[in-house]
Amino acid sequence: MKVFLTGTDTGVGKTFVTALLTESLRRTGIQAVAVKPFCCGDRADIDLLRTASNKVISEAETTPVWLPSPVAPSVAARLEGKCVSLDSLSSWFHRLSHTYPVIIVEGAGGWLVPINDSDTIADLAVRLDLPVVPVVANRLGCLNHALLTLECIRSRNLKCPGIILNTLAENSDLATQTNAGELSRHTRIIMEITHGQREIPPHDLAEFLEAVNSSTDHQAPQLADAGTARNFS
């Protein structure tokens, strides 16, 4: 199983959700790893994803492109005199696919963030041909961001099994209380992450795997009833 987690914006908790999902899957016996093609700024995200993957994957495998400036990948690369191609990222991912059967790919920023002069995160997801699950920050304004992202994903003929709604703040307001109901009119909410959550329950993991499995031709791993993983290929 391979899946692409994108964001509806920067700061929506993509890395946190990716790490939480990876750690929770590994606790069931599913040997998932988390990767992030681009990291711009400090390397904290790389460390977090490697820790979630139990450090079975190297830094270079986790993130092939690290750029020190905390801006969009295209800008950060330009500042370093570099240009990252979709061909190089595609080669990186397909090498990983031969080693790691379950990969969660985290995008950078939002869906249309540029990675070079002509390509965006969306183009990378198209090249990798993975089902896409947006992480949506549960806050005022997320309805517009989420629906725009969903429409754009579908316009690329990519499978989108649903969204993950991530609550960032401890105190809720009317928007955070009603966003799930409104979004569920337009898409499936695969899971909701609450503020401070440290593990994903088996039921939610099973729903995530079922949703991804339903959107791909490849069999996704399944959770066993006892909380351990069944065999998968």
Amino acid identity for residue 198 in this structure = R
Structural fold of domain 2-214: Rossmann fold (3.40.50)
* Whole-structure pTM value: 0.91
Residue 53 tokens, joined: 């993957």
Helix (H, G, I), strand (E, B), or coil: what is residue 103? strand
Residue 112 has pLDDT above 70, yes or no: yes
What is the distance in angstroms between the CA of the first residue and the CA of the last residue of the chain?
9
Name the pLDDT band for 68 (thresholds 50, 70, 90): very high
- pLDDT at position 218: 54
Q: Catalytic pick from 2, 14, 36, 159? A: 36
Name the pLDDT band for 229 (thresholds 50, 70, 90): very low
189-193 and 38-40 strand pairing: unpaired
Q: At what angle do helices 142-155 and 121-128 cross, to 10 degrees?
A: 40
- pLDDT at position 190: 97
Range name among 74-88, 91-105, 138-152, 210-224 with the lowest pLDDT average: 210-224
Residue 55 has pLDDT above 70, yes or no: yes
75 Cβ contact list (under 8 Å, min separation 6): 69, 114
Q: What is the mean pLDDT of residues 203-212?
A: 94
Residue 1 has pLDDT above 60, yes or no: yes
Query: Residue 36 catalytic?
Result: yes
31 Cβ contact list (under 8 Å, min separation 6): 56, 100, 101, 102
Domain boundaries, the chain: 2-214
Residue 155 has pLDDT above 50, yes or no: yes
Q: What is the mean pLDDT of residues 145-157?
A: 96
- pLDDT at position 146: 97
